[in-house]
Amino acid sequence: MSRYRGPRLKIIRRLKTLPGLTSKRPKYRNDSINRSSSRKISQYRIRLEEKQKLRFHYGLTERQLLKYVRIARRAKGSTGQVLLQLLEMRSDNIIFRLGMAPTIPGARQLVNHGHIRVNDHMVDIPSYPCKPQDEITIRDQQRLRTIIRKNIDLLQRDKLPNHLTFNSLQYKGFINQIIDSKWISLKINELLVVEYYSRQA
């Protein structure tokens, strides 16, 4: 299944808040909320929706997410926590969390176009795994700095997660450590995602 490129509000109405996909908020009608709450929801649907939240928030294909689940299963520790840490340390997500882009798709575009440097090396792969002590910088281009400055002014009203530091004068980000689960911006039950993939991974 390919990466989703359709209307984002349609996804938000079904799965609720996904800060990485879009900052827009849909308008709900009261009768539609009441109608949906009266239906009986199956366990399969609950797991599927948690998996879809993860997939759409981080902008992954089905194959990519399954690959991350398999890596998390082989690692030490809680599979769900390791899975979230792997996704949070992707270069496109780091750019988004630093406030350089308004959404993860926007951050992916910055990375794809070669605007991002990790430890002074150009990175053009959005799934590039960043590590603690990595330094994130941008290509020295005035127009790019102006765009990123606007994004930072809008987005860094919220507190930066504790695993990241950002120097707004030098446009430099720094990864202090692996993210703590309480700083993950997506509200999700990762164990349900692991259960969903238990027969495939």
Give the domain ranges of the chain: 8-86+186-196, 91-177
d(C-alpha 20, C-alpha 18), whole Å: 6
Tokens of 133: 């002590």
CATH code 3.40.630.30 for 91-177: no
d(C-alpha 3, C-alpha 5), whole Å: 6
Among 170, 182, 22, 174, which residue's Cα sits nearest to residue 98?
174
CATH code 1.10.1050.10 for 8-86+186-196: yes
Which residues of the chain fall short of a pLDDT of 50? Answer: 1, 31-35, 201
Instruction: Please state the pTM of the whole predicted model.
Output: 0.82
Task: Assess contact for 126 and 111: CB atoms under 8 A.
Answer: yes
Output the DSSP codes for 129-155: B--TT-EEEE-S-HHHHHHHHHHHHHH
Task: Note the pLDDT tens digit of each residue in 47-80.
Answer: 988 898 888 889 899 999 999 999 999 998 889 9
DSSP state of 33: H
> Residue 84 CB: number of other CB atoms within 10 A?
22
User: What's the pLDDT score for residue 34?
Assistant: 45
Buried b (16+ CB within 10 A) or exposed e, 175-189: beeebeeeebbbebe
User: What's the pLDDT score for residue 180?
Assistant: 82
